[in-house]
Copies of this chain bind each other. A is one copy, B any other.
């Protein structure tokens, strides 16, 4: 089968590509070709037992997108997005990539000569609710940010196209994926990874929210597993509703820091100092911190492990590369 990863050069795209190269399959079907597509030419995964094409281009260029989703493509994993802070800073850019780009993906998928599975990465940011909320599977998406609004619109588009039989979409509303490797960025959620990653690198960092602040999170391993499960699952039980709240885990900042201490010692924990930031609190305070995720469990999505396992996975998978990246300056 032919598989395409849009946004294949990004954080999750590279992890999925590596996983596909390691197993050679999606579900139980052998992969015959993989295309990675991103603004800059993505890196190919090592030792793939199938042909890998790495293409650069913009979602909004139909020719480039057509090349990225060739005839016969069976699975499209659509990760390409302008993420939260950038979409908030530039409405037009966010709409162009996150909404019109997703329309372009739908148009390209209609040319493959079949009904491709499309795995779309939506986000918890498409919901409101705040710290107190426990969101059920039928919770309404009333986003408090442009990125979330664009993700919710993308879901509606792909859900309707699935109903029409043009594609076969599953939208996974990812939690905040931690620990994100690399560097701190300007996203309001940056601290959620930073308070774990920076101390593991031996670096000091600050925390803008209190110890009791809860976040709905998952590990990169779990995110990859969910997206590949969505790529192969039987979609008949989904009916009209193509949106999945996967079984992430609500973890408080206090639990994260306790996990950090358990895994890396009190000296690591001591590198995190409190620096309450009302501006950050105002943004992240609106995000939902917990979901029932009942439907996803019933459908067979795996459940997020605890914070210590998540930290050990980061140390095993990403710490060395992150350290090398930082050392490179």
Residue numbers of A with Cβ under 8 A of B are: 91, 95, 103, 128, 138-146, 149-150, 152-153, 156-157, 159-161, 163-164, 166, 240-241
Contact = CB atoms under 8 A, between A and B. Distances in A.
Given A142-B159, A149-B159, A149-B160, 14 more contacts: A91-B161, A91-B166, A128-B240, A138-B140, A139-B140, A140-B140, A140-B141, A141-B156, A142-B241, A144-B163, A146-B160, A152-B156, A153-B156, A153-B157
Contacts of A153: 153, 156-157
A155 to B, nearest CB: 9
A288 to B, nearest CB: 13
Given A140-B141, A146-B160, A157-B153, A95 B103 contact: yes
Residue of A128, A160, A164 contacting most chain B CB atoms (<10 Å) = A160
14 contacts: A91-B160, A91-B161, A91-B164, A138-B140, A140-B140, A140-B141, A142-B159, A143-B156, A144-B163, A146-B160, A150-B160, A152-B156, A153-B157, A156-B156
A157 B163 contact: no
A49 to B, nearest CB: 38
B164 A146 contact: yes
Contacts of A240: 128, 142, 144
